């Protein structure tokens, strides 16, 4: 009998997460009957006890808010990419139990953009300044020829994003959150904010926007995504990011060379439609 292999997504809140549907669909597509994937409501206070209590059956963890930075002190090694942005969304357990942290949001975002034909842009913008915004900045630095403008609410956040830009070698400009609608006039905007945060920009939108990558998937479409679509813009959503980063997690957890992207996407679409 094959030994069981376990993985899960942790976060708070977590009930809405589509990750179980995606990973389970991947296992089913490849006939991996010994694998399971669950979700656990875990906040920062409960993270250490959960992680240190796992046994040898565990292959990996997916992390969402608010754990992407809180996990760092609990890891044995961290990839250069995750270290650069200070955010880990993937933990892989080695055969010796050592915990390795990685970030699949950065390559996942890039793969999602490439799938939609976005290879290079002259400039870009990021709405927000949290952990996902840090990953977005790192990704944009690889395809943006000019400045990335970050729209933030506070001087503290502005300083953090400038510092991260220097660390990543990305030219960062900072603008006031109230002017965020201006970002949509550029070739590419990545919105990394919670639900409702950009609704006001939808009402202010004029002209044909550039590409919008809104990392939310529930509710979908967001008011801003809907307004961009109505005006003829190209819109990517949170499911695009989730699927592409989940495939990379799937590969790291299982050792499979190429994860079943189509099947995992279909599962995500079905879960959202239900």
Q: Does domain 117-233 have CATH number 3.20.80.10?
A: no
The ranges assigned to domains in the chain are 5-104+246-273, 117-233
Residues with catalytic function:
68
- Whether the per-residue pLDDT at 4 is higher than 70: the answer is yes
Identical fold between 5-104+246-273 and 117-233: yes
> Which residues partner with 211 through β-bridges?
188
Residue-wise pLDDT tens digits, 35-58? 999 999 999 999 999 999 999 999
- pLDDT in the model for residue 3: 66
- pLDDT in the model for residue 147: 97
> Which residues partner with 6 through β-bridges?
36, 58
Cβ atoms within 10 Å, residue 18: 23
- Architecture of the CATH domain 5-104+246-273: 3-Layer(aba) Sandwich (3.40)
Cβ atoms within 10 Å, residue 26: 26
Q: Which residue, 124, 133, 132, is CA-closest to 161?
A: 133
Residue-wise pLDDT tens digits, 147-196? 999 999 999 999 999 999 999 999 999 999 999 999 999 999 999 999 99
Calpha distance 175→260 (Å, rounded): 40
């Amino acid at each position: 009998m094959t030994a069981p292999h376990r993985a899960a997504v942790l976060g708070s809140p977590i009930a809405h997460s589509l990750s179980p549907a995606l990973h389970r669909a991947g296992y089913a597509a490849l006939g991996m009957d010994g694998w399971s994937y669950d979700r656990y409501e875990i906040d920062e206070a409960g993270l250490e006890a959960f992680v240190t209590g796992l046994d040898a059956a565990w292959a990996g963890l997916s992390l969402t808010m608010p754990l992407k930075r809180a996990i760092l002190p609990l890891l044995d090694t961290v990839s250069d990419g995750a270290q650069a942005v200070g955010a880990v969304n993937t933990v892989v357990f080695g055969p010796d139990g050592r915990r390795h942290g990685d970030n699949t949001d950065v390559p996942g975002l890039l793969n999602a953009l490439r799938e939609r034909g976005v290879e290079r842009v002259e400039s870009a913008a990021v709405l927000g300044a949290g952990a996902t915004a840090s990953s977005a900045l790192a990704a944009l630095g690889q395809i943006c020829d000019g400045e990335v403008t970050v729209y933030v609410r506070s001087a503290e956040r502005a300083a953090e994003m400038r510092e991260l830009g220097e660390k990543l070698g990305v030219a960062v400009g900072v603008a006031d959150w109230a002017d965020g609608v201006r970002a949509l006039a550029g070739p590419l905007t990545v919105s990394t904010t919670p639900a409702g945060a950009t609704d006001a920009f939808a009402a202010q939108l004029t002209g044909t926007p550039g590409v919008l990558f809104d990392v939310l998937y529930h509710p979908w479409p967001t008011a801003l995504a809907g307004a961009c679509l109505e005006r003829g813009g190209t819109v990517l959503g949170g499911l695009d990011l989730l699927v592409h980063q989940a495939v990379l997690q799937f590969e790291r957890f299982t050792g499979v060379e190429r994860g079943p992207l189509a099947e995992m996407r279909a599962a995500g679409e079905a879960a959202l439609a239900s």
